[in-house]
Structure 1
């Protein structure tokens, strides 16, 4: 049993007016965000800064990962207008870096890859100067599906390995560790000028050696950017927290990741896949 939540995981209460304003704007476009659906602890900060991560293909996921707060239910009908609504809302928000993810749609022949591509193209048309990051599912290993996304030329393709392979049966029972690594490899081997990115949650019972092993696997697969954050259980029905990882451990792992060869690492208890993604990409472009 872990001790009480430590002080380093305390965040300011969100500004209710900022939340309401963003929620109204998103509802006008019939849009969902992973910020809301996944109970992200940074929602107050991001919505307050008028940024978000769009979640396409509905709000119901066909998988039931035991760490995730996104609803597992019968998937919704794909909204053909959604790519244009994402683009229009991104323009209204004045986004310079647009982040798009999705629920997993194993019911669709291409897993929703074509919808990702359509969204990328719509954002490019509406915001030609903006950079685009997509956080994609594994598409059940469908290489043609991955190629559809890459053909639309996003600036970053992110696919999270989430945890160490030993914990996959408990944490991600419908996912395959080797399949996720292959997806990262396909991004790097495609010839498209796209950055490959991945991320892990810590605090599920993994060891430091196992985390370093995953980082090495990811780097060998061609991953260039990495995020490391603390797992926070969404409810008693989800996996419990085994450990609150100290910020100093995150800092040490960050240095290890740089030593392995990653060119950007964002690590800390509150870090999530798209946390400060726009600032990060701007820094990389400047470098």
Structure 2
């Protein structure tokens, strides 16, 4: 990838294609007011997503359940690691109300990893989808789930409530998985996606670039995902959340992202979102139809 990416000297500035426009528009202003007034917990705001204005304008938002402390310590992620709080059993209804207040057409639900719980949080996951369905029958759903340690009985709870899209992110190539996703396993994540697809789900996954992977490794990851029947793939640029996290080793050029998009479509993916500012939920509403 060296010929198509920008290899970083120390403390280099971000390239111009990573400049983010401030979110604007009537819909964004309206939703921002609701989020602030009712203290609604969206990943869009807490994660300072670069696509927040665009997604909100299209009626899409992402919500995180099961708290904001993760039991895993991935090298790329800005979410706190530690001992999570106890489960809030009224959380499903709170999320459903938030979606109704914001008049969301397509909701993405994600969560921290809860390896501390016997059910991995799968009961709250199931109840959240059902609560959203009751309060917002016209809202489509994507569930961006953890690997549940590869326990199919827990994954069955997601399958049973049948969201329009089920997503689980690979995040990186096989060689870098141990460094980037310390407690995760590449083949286990592939197995989760295969199990979901084999049970009738529309499946989705995302990877980040710029962690030192080669072009061949990216293509191999895409091939592995397509071989388990994956429908939708997102490919974006990794950006370091804090100095404590893994450094960015490369800024991938727009031309290279375009190349991966074209390759992905040739491989047979239903949708390929590939670009520097692409995140898991980017254009998520489109993937549900």
Establish whether TM, by shorter chain, passes 0.5.
yes
Q: 1:254 aligns with which of 257, 261, 267?
A: 261
Deviations 1:188-210 (A, max 9, x none): 111x3x21100100011001110
TM-score using structure 2 length: 0.90
How many residue pairs get aligned? The number is 277
Larger CA deviation: 264-273 vs 73-82: 73-82
Distance 1:196 1:86, change over 3 A: same
Residue 243 (str. 1) matches residue 247 (str. 2): no
Superposition pairs for residues 125-274 of structure 1, below 5 Å? 125-190=134-199, 192=200, 194-274=201-281
Distance 1:218 1:25, change over 3 A: farther
Deviations 1:130-169 (A, max 9, x none): 2110000001111101001110111100000000010012
2-side partners of 1:53 and 1:149: how far apart?
Answer: 17
1-side partners of 2:32 and 2:129: how far apart?
Answer: 27
**Structure 1 vs Structure 2 CA RMSD:** 1.8
Native 8 Å contact 2:190 2:225 kept in 1: yes
2-side partners of 1:131 and 1:121: how far apart?
Answer: 12
Q: Give the equivalent residue in structure 1 for 2:93.
A: 84
3-state SS of paired residue (1:52) = strand
What residue ranges of structure 1 are gaps of 5+ in the alignment?
none
Q: 1:54 aligns with which of 63, 71, 78?
A: 63
2-side partners of 1:25 and 1:65: how far apart?
Answer: 32
3-state SS of paired residue (1:178) = helix
Distance 1:217 1:113, change over 3 A: same
Deviation at residue 85 of structure 1 after TM alignment:
1.1
2-side partners of 1:197 and 1:80: how far apart?
Answer: 28
2-side partners of 1:90 and 1:61: how far apart?
Answer: 24
TM-score using structure 1 length: 0.91
What residue ranges of structure 2 are gaps of 5+ in the alignment?
1-7
Q: Give the equivalent residue in structure 2 for 1:24.
A: 36
